[in-house]
Every structure is written in structure tokens, then in C-alpha cells.
A and B are shown apart, each in its own frame.
Chain A
Amino acid sequence: MGRLLLATSAVVLLLLVVISAFTTNHVASENSAAVHQPAVQDKDDLRTLQARYKALSKQLSHLMPNQPYILVDTARNRLYVKHQEQVVLDAIASTGSGIILDKPGEGNSQWIFDTPRGEFLVKSKLTNPTWIKPDWAFIEEGLAVPQNAADRAEQGVLGEYALGFGKGYFIHGTLYTRLLGKNVTHGCIRLNDSDLKGVYKLARVGTPIMIF
């Protein structure tokens, strides 16, 4: 019985391997297929097309940031400051952990500790920032959420600078430099002191931040 099962499994696996190999070859040959466009009549048409392409390329370049911008790769935990194609600053960062925490008393509502993806702008630049601990910071530690706002303030944990980019997200410093390069934050972007200083100097309010 066992042998029969083993032999059947082997045959099925072999069949699947053959099918997928066949498909892969089929796929490769399909790459030669192409969109067939009507032929262009003469050289004037070609010149018109070339001019149109160049004009559109130029329009696209007008939309590109003409000032330094911040680029964050959340998968590899890197932060770059770039000016056009040039990398001005390259830093190891820590970004969102992707972990979830239930919001007590709110049914299925949860916090998801992701760094938001997309395009943002530097909205604020702070020196010696104070961390106003949000509700999740207390709940995560199993503590009661304080009623008094002053009990939420914590000094010295965000480093010397912080750059806000909306909805409570910041690029800031960290006490846990050994965790740089890992996805460990609640959504903020952490840097070491010297990289943070560099970013703070290069960025202005309005500097684009691209996060993917």
C-alpha cells in the first residue's frame, strides 16, 4: 500500500514537472510576440513621433524632484538622500515591524505597525524632540493609558532631531542602534545619530520622502 502511494506520488510529481517544463518553454517562445502597430508613412511622421516622445520625456522630467529628496527602502531598511541620480547620503535605518496589536474595547480594530508607503513631504523639523507616547506604547507594555497628557512625555529617546512626515510618523534617532537594519519600529524611521544629523541638515520642510 505504502509503495503504491509512493509510486503514485512520484508519477504525479513527474507529470507536474513535465507540464511546468512544457509551460516554461511555451512562455519563453511567447516573448517574441509583439504588438503590431500600423506602419508609419514617411520620415515626417517619424520626426513628429520623435518630437512627441522627447516632449513627453521632458514633461516627465519636470515632475521629478528638482531638490534633494529622501528615499526609503523598507524591505532592506535603507534610507538615501538623493539629488537627481546622485546619492548624497546612504544610511542603515529601521522601519516598521508589520506586527499587529489589538485595540482594547474596539472590536476587531487593530494597530498595524507598518511604515507607510508612498510619497510624503517633510512637514516639520524638530530639535531635541520629546516623544509623546501614544496609546499603543502603554497597551503594548500592558500598562494603563494615562489620563494626564504630561505622563505621556518622554525625553531623550528620539535622538537630537526629528523630521515629521504626517500622521505621527517621524524620521528620528534611536537608543537601540544594534537594531538598525531590521524591521522593528512602530512605523517611524530610525537612524543613528550621525546619519540623522546629515538628513536633518539636507532636508527642508517640503522635501519629498518616497517610501516603498
Chain B
Amino acid sequence: MNLCAILFLLAFTTPSWGKDIKVFPDLNLNNPNELKEATRVLEEELKLAARPQTYLLIDLSGGTIHIKGRGVGLHQIPIIVWSAESWKDLKGIHRLVARPQVVRRKVEPGAEVEQEPISLADMPADYVLSFSPSLSVTVVPSVESDSLFQSAVLLGKVGWRNVRDWTSRLLMDRSSEPTAHLRLTLSVNHAQSLAWSLVDGMALVIRRPTDK
């Protein structure tokens, strides 16, 4: 095959690498505020995607948590409801420093009975994640349930935690560094799925909604 033929073929081959991608499909390209926020997030994400790691992108605008690597979306978790405090400070890259402990079963050497492996059901659905610089993310399960009793118990748990949060905030030293706080309500399965996918030191970027 001569050079002309190769060039002809190349001209009609769509290169997949470096093609235009829709990072935020819901983004209105004519809204300058949305563009500014999306650009800021992209700048942060580029730093993360340049390294071999998985990271989190919480897209409050799109209502989705993305687990990503190299810019590729690996898994998505829908957010049912969210709220935030000091949330205008939710800029930059945050690193996971504390997550809930998972109860692991132990093998007894030479034991006849095999231990039950860990599964998604072993993961917590109601937990707090701490990130650095100061950010805490509270994950709460949605209260949708087939059983009225289960719903009441779940609501009770959420209510009790709210009372605890309010009390600790009231007692908190006002002079200490303010902590940005994000609260995410997910379905039970999705909350467990997120807990499963977290890795110590995992990076997080948050896309905030803007004025429409």
C-alpha cells in the first residue's frame, strides 16, 4: 500500500483518542456560571486523571456520584437528596482520611467450616466520611421501605443522628476551623455500594450547582 493510500485511509478514520467528549451532559454551554463551575471541576479532575488512581466526582448539579479513573466513568451512584453547609467552600481536591470500619470475618487455620465472605450487605448504609482539607460527608439511606416498621426505625435513626449533629454543632468550639459538610441521601444499596468502593486516601472533587 503506498503512502497516498495510507493517508487517504487515515483521513476517513475517526480517531477515538482526543475526540470531543461530554463530561457534563446536563451543562448549558450558554450559561457562563455553569461553564465557570464546570471548568473549575475539569481543571481539578485533570490533575486526578493524570495519575493511576480511582477518584470520586460528586456532581451535585447532575445528582450523581461518579467513581472515575483516567477521566473514564467506572460506576455511577444516583443521589436522591443532598444538602450542604459551608458548601461554597467545597472547592479543590479533598482526600479521604476516615471511613467506617468494616467488620471482617477471620479464618481459623485448618478449620473445617469456611468463613462467609464479605459482601455488599456487610457494608454500612449510614456513615460519615472525613476528608482533608476539612470536609465531612454524611451518607444516609433513604427511608423508602416495604415495611412501615422498618421505615419508622430508619426515620428514628436519621432523626436521632440529626439531634446528635445539632448538639455537637452547638457544643463545638466556634474558634476552630469551620468544616464544610455535605449530606447525601442514597438508596440503601447505593449507600452500601459507595462504602464498598472507597479507598483510603481516595480523592474527591465536587461539582456545585450554579444560578440558573
Contacts and interface: CB of A to CB of B under 8 A. Distances in A.
A and B are partners in one complex rather than unrelated chains: yes
A62 B79 CA distance: 29
B172 to A, nearest CB: 19
A33 B39 CA distance: 20
Interface in A1-43: 13, 15-21, 23-24, 26-28, 30-31, 33-37, 39-40
Interface in B73-114: 74-75, 81-84, 87-88, 102, 104-107, 109-111
Contacts of A69: 72
Interface stretch (A93-101, A147-155, A197-205): A93-101
B160 A16 contact: yes
B46 A50 contact: no
A33 B1 CA distance: 61
B163 A118 contact: no
Chain A contact residues, majority secondary structure? mixed
A81 B97 CA distance: 32
Contacts, number: 212
A212 interface: yes
Interface in A130-159: 139-143
Nearest to B212: A34
A99 B159 contact: no
* Most B CB within 10 A of own CB, among A53, A84, A121: A53
A28 B152 contact: no
A60 B163 CA distance: 43
Interface residues of A, number: 71
Contact of A98 (B18, B104, B158, B159): B104
A140 B114 CA distance: 10
Contacts of B162: 19-20, 23
B197 A119 contact: no
A45 B109 contact: no
B-side binding surface: helix, strand, loop or mixed? mixed
Nearest to B74: A212
B128 interface: no
Contacts of B143: 20, 24
Nearest to B185: A27
Contacts of B45: 60
Contact of B70 (A31, A64, A73, A98): A64
B110 A142 contact: yes
A142 B115 CA distance: 15
A30 B84 contact: yes
B14 to A, nearest CB: 11
Contacts of B32: 37, 39-40, 45-46, 49
Q: Please list the 9 inter-chain residue pairs (A to B) with the smallest Cβ-Cβ separation, ordered nearest first.
A: A142-B110, A98-B118, A16-B159, A40-B32, A20-B159, A97-B117, A66-B17, A119-B52, A56-B42
Interface of A: 13, 15-21, 23-24, 26-28, 30-31, 33-37, 39-40, 45-46, 49-50, 52-54, 56-66, 69, 71, 73-75, 84, 97-102, 104, 112, 117-121, 139-143, 182-184, 208, 210-212
7 contacts: A23-B159, A30-B83, A52-B35, A58-B21, A139-B109, A143-B110, A210-B69
